[in-house]
Amino acid sequence: MFWSGVELAEMLYEQIKAIAQNYALGQTLFSNTGFIVKWLVKLALWYLFWMYSRYVALALLGPALSMLSEKVEENYTKENHILLQKKSVPFFKSALRSLTISVKYAILETLLVALLSIMGLFLPFLGFVFFGLMLLVTWYFSGASVLDFVLERHVTDVKSTGEFLSEHRMFAVGIGLFYWACFSIPFISLFTGLVLGTVMSCVGTTVGYHRLSQTNNVH
The whole-angstrom separation of Cα 163 and Cα 168 is 9
Alpha-carbon separation of residue 48 from 4, 100, 188, 190 (angstroms): 11, 19, 19, 16
- Does pTM surpass 0.85? no
> Helix, strand or coil for residue 126?
helix
pLDDT band at 219 (very low <50, low <70, confident <90, very high): very low
In a domain, 38, yes or no: no
Amino acid letter, 87: K
Its domain, for residue 192, covers: 50-216
In a domain, 164, yes or no: yes
In a domain, 148, yes or no: yes
Which alpha helices (H) appear in 24-168, and where do they start and end? 24-79, 91-122, 127-154, 158-167
In a domain, 36, yes or no: no
Question: Picking from 58-62, 80-84, 130-134, which range would have the lowest pLDDT averaged per residue?
Answer: 80-84
Cβ atoms of 2 and 46 closer than 8 Å: yes
The whole-angstrom separation of Cα 41 and Cα 46 is 9
Average pLDDT, rounded, for the chain: 82
pLDDT band at 16 (very low <50, low <70, confident <90, very high): confident
Number of domains observed in the structure of the chain: 1
Residue 218: what pLDDT? 47
In a domain, 27, yes or no: no
In a domain, 125, yes or no: yes
In a domain, 126, yes or no: yes
Residue 111: what pLDDT? 92
In a domain, 44, yes or no: no
